[in-house]
Structure 1
Amino acid sequence: MKKILSSIATLIIMGTVLISCSDDNSDSSTSSSSTENTEVAKIEVSATIFPIYDIARQIAGDEIEVHLLITPGESPHTFNPTPSTKEEIEHSEIIFAIGNELDTFVTDISSNQEKIIIVDKNLTLIKYEDEHDDHDDDKHGDEKHDDHKDHDHDKHDDDKHGDEKHDDHDHHAHGEYDPHYWLDPMNAKVMAVTIADALAQLDPANAESYNSRSSAFAAEIDALHTELVELAELAHDKSFITFHDSMAYLVTRYDLSLAGTFEPTGAEEPSPQYLHELSEVVEHDNVLAIFSEPQLSSASLEPFMKDNNLSLATLDPLGGVDGRDSYQALIRYNIETIAETLKEK
C-alpha cells in the first residue's frame, strides 16, 4: 500500500513540474512574440536616381532604409513611373530629388510636396543659354543657386532660382539650369550635407551618426578628386562630344575639352541642320571621340561617328550597375573612360 501511495505522489509531482514548464514556455513564447510585434520599423526614404540614392545610402547606414525609384538602366528623361513607384513615394518619409525639370514625376505623383527635398541647396548651377546649337562651352555661365526658401526638411521652392521662375520655359523645355550637377564630386559633398541634415531632422536620435558619415564621405571624395585631377590631365586638351548635355559639370571640374553634344537636349533627336553644324565643330576643334550613354539608344549616332571618323566609348551619368555600383565608382569610371579613350590620340 505504501508503494502505491508513493507512486501516486511521484506522478503528481511530475505532472506539476510538466505543467509548470509548459506555462514557462508559453510565457516565454508570448514575451518573444510581444517583443517582435513592438519592434519599431525602420524609417523609409527614397531617392529618384542612383547617384543620390547611393549618397543617401552611405549616410543613412543601418538606421534608415533607402529606396531607389528609377531602376538602373533607365533614364529620367524617358522614365514612366509605375503603380509601385507611386506606392514607394507615398510610403517614404522623405524623397530626395534632383529637381530642375529632371525628375518632375515625383512632384506629379506625391500627395505631400513637403517631403520632397531637392538636393541642390548651396550649389552653383550651370545656366542654359538661349542657344545650344553653337556648341560653345563658354556660353554656359555659372549661376549661384543658394537662395532657397527655408522650410521643413529644406523643401525646395521651385520658383526660386535667382530672380527667375521655372515656369518661364519659353526657350527650353528642359528647364533653365543644367540638372546634372551630381557629376561634379565637389557638389556631391554639399549634397551629402543636405541629405545628412534632412535625415538628422527626421531622426534626431541618430543625428551624430549621419553627420559623421557625411564627413567621412567628404574625405573619400577629396581623396578621389586628387587622384582624378592627375588622371584627367592625360586628356584635358583633347576634344570630344557627348551623347547629350549631361557632362558639363564633370568636364568643367576636370578641365576637359567638351566640344558639343550629339543631342541638343535629353532624348531629343538632332535635326539635319544641327548635325551639319556639329560636323563643322568636329573638324574645327579636331574632335577625336564621341561618347554614348547606356540609358539612351545610341543607334542614331553611329552613322555620324563613322562619317566623322570618331572613336566611340560610353560615359555613364547614372550608374547603379556592376563596376559603377557606388557614387565614387561612377565618377572614377567616367574620368578613366575619357582618359583611356583620348590619351593615345
Structure 2
Amino acid sequence: MRRFLVPLALLLASAPAVAQPKVVASVIPVHGIVSAVMGDKGQPELLLAGSMPEHRASFSPQQIKELGEADLVFIIGQGLEAKLSQMSGTEAVNGRRFVELAAAPGVTTLPVRQGGTWETHDHAHEEEHGHEEGEGHDEGVLAFDPHVWLDPANAKAMALAVAQELAKADPGNAALYLRNAEDFARSVDETAEAIEAELEGVKTTPYVVFHDAYQYFERRFGLAAAGSISDVSAAAPSAQRLREIRRKITEVKAACVFREPQYDNKVVATVVEGTAAREGVLDPIGADVAPGPLAYQQILRNLAASLRQCLAG
C-alpha cells in the first residue's frame, strides 16, 4: 500500500489550484464591503478612486478592459455610477455579471427629496425598490436616492448579497464568505454604536451640505440637515438655488455648510460668505480613505468626526 503514497502526494501537489473569481468594485465603500467579505481569498479591483466624482466619472480603455476580464462587478447602481450603469450589458462587458447592490434584498431605499432647498424634480419616486434585477432606468430619472450605503443596515444587507454572489462564483469558499459577511455586520454595528455616542449633543444643530447625498446617514442618526446646494445628482446649482440656499442658511441659523473633496469648493465659499456659518468637509465616498476591508467603517467614522467638529464649533 505504501508504494502508492508518493505518487498520490505528487498528484495532489501538481493538481491545478481553483482560480479565485476576478472581482471589480466600483467605489471605495463598495470595495470596502467586498474586500471584507472576500477576506484572504483575494482582493477586488477598485474602479474609481475616492477623489473622482462618482456621478460624473468616465472610464479609460484599461478600466474597460478590467471590466471585461472580471467575473463579478459590484456597483451601487441606480444611476450612482452613471457611466458604469450605462456600460453594464454592453459589448465591452458582455457575459460579465454586474451586481447592483442598491437592489439587494434587505436594502431599504428612500425617495429623492423634493422641494425647497432639496431636490426639485417633479417625477414620482418609490420609497421601496420594487424593480426586477437588471431593470433599467430612464436616464436622469432616479427611482430612489442611490446613496444607500450610508445607512449601516443597508451595508450589512449588501455584504450578505456580496457573499451570496461570491458563493455562486466560488462554491468551495461559500461558508467562508458568509462568515466574513457576519463578521462585517458585527463590526458595522460597533461602528454605528460609537457614532451614536459621538454625535450626541449636535443632532439638533442645523447645517447644509454640498449635494443631497446624506439622507440615509441623517435618518439613521437623527441629524438636522436643512438643505443642499446641489441636488442628489450633484448637478451644477442654478443661480436661483444658490439664492434659496443662502436664505435657508440665514433662516435656520445653519452652523455649518459642508463641501466635498471631489467637487469645486468655490460654490460653498460663495453661499457662506456674509453668513455666520462655518465651512466643513463631508466625504461620502472616501477620498482620503485607504481601500481595504475596513474602508467602509472608516468612511462612516470620518463623516461623524467631521460633523461633530464643525457643528460643535
TM-score normalised over the length of structure 2: 0.85
2:98 aligned with 1:125, yes or no?
no
Letter in 2 for 1:62: D
Is residue 2:50 matched to residue 1:81?
Answer: no
Name the counterpart of 1:237.
204
Q: Which segments of structure 1 move beyond 6 Å, counting only runs of 4 or more?
A: 139-142
C-alpha distance in 2 between matches for 1:65 and 1:289: 38
Distance 1:104 1:300 in 2: 23
| Closer/same/farther in 2, CA of residues 88 and 210 from structure 1, 3 Å limit | same
Displacement of 1:219 in angstroms is: 0.6
In structure 2, the CA distance between the partners of 1:73 and 1:134, relative to structure 1 (3 Å rule), is closer
Cα displacement (A) at 1:141: 8.3
Q: Could you tell me how far apart the structure 1 residues matched to 2:243 and 2:36 are?
A: 45
Shift of 1:176: 2.8
Q: Which amino acid aligns with 2:148?
A: Y
Alpha carbons 2:256, 2:277 under 8 Å: kept = yes
Q: Among residues 54, 68, 74, which one is paired with 1:90 in the alignment?
A: 68
1:114 Cα shift? 5.8
Q: Distance in 1 between matches of 2:117 and 2:281?
A: 23
From 133, 143, 146, give the equivalent of 2:127: 143
Paired AA for residue 101 in structure 2: V
Is the 2:205–2:311 contact (alpha carbons within 8 Å) kept by the matching residues of 1? Answer: yes
Correspondent of 1:333 among 295, 298, 302: 302
Q: 1:59 to 1:35 in 2, by over 3 A?
A: same
What is residue 271 of structure 1 aligned with on the other side?
238
Tell me the percent identity. Answer: 26
5+ residue gaps, structure 1, are 1-30, 150-155, 160-165
1:217 deviation in Å?
Answer: 0.6
Does the C-alpha gap of structure 1 residues 132 and 64 become closer, same or farther in structure 2, counting only changes over 3 Å?
A: farther
Spell out, residue by residue over 1:193-227, the C-alpha distance to the aligned partner (whole angstroms, 9 max, x if none): 01011001111110010000000111111111111
Q: What residue number does 1:116 align with?
A: 98
Task: Indicate conservation of the 8 Å contact 2:206/2:225, yes or no.
Answer: yes
**What is the 5 A alignment of 1:1-345?**
35=14, 38-110=16-88, 111-112=93-94, 115-120=97-102, 121=104, 122-129=106-113, 131-135=114-118, 143-145=127-129, 147=130, 149=132, 156-159=133-136, 166-167=137-138, 173=140, 175-319=142-286, 321-322=288-289, 326-344=295-313
Aligned length: 293
Give the whole-Å Cα distance in 2 for the aligned partners of 1:340 and 1:232.
10
Distance 1:134 1:322, change over 3 A: closer
Larger radius of gyration: 1
Q: 1:135 to 1:148 in 2, by over 3 A?
A: closer
One-letter code of the match for 1:72? G
Deviations 1:108-159 (A, max 9, x none): 3343366011112131211125x444449xx9987122x454xxxxxx2325
Question: Where in structure 2 are there 5+ consecutive unaligned residues?
Answer: 1-9
Distance 2:309 2:171 in 1: 45
Contact 1:86 1:109 in 2 (8 A): no
- Deviation (angstroms), 1:320: 5.3
Greater relative contact order, per chain length (Cα 8 Å cut-off, separation 6+): 2
After TM superposition, the structure 1 stretch with the greater mean CA deviation from structure 2, 38-47 or 268-277, is 38-47
Distance in 2, Cα, partners of 1:257 & 1:109:
37
Cα drift, residue 232 of structure 1: 1.5
How much is the aligned-residue C-alpha RMSD, in angstroms? 2.7
Deviation at residue 71 of structure 1 after TM alignment: 1.8
CA contact 1:45–1:65 (8 Å) conserved in 2:
yes
- Deviations along 1:175-198, one digit per CA (max 9) or x if unpaired, are 231111111111101110010110
SS at match of 1:214: helix
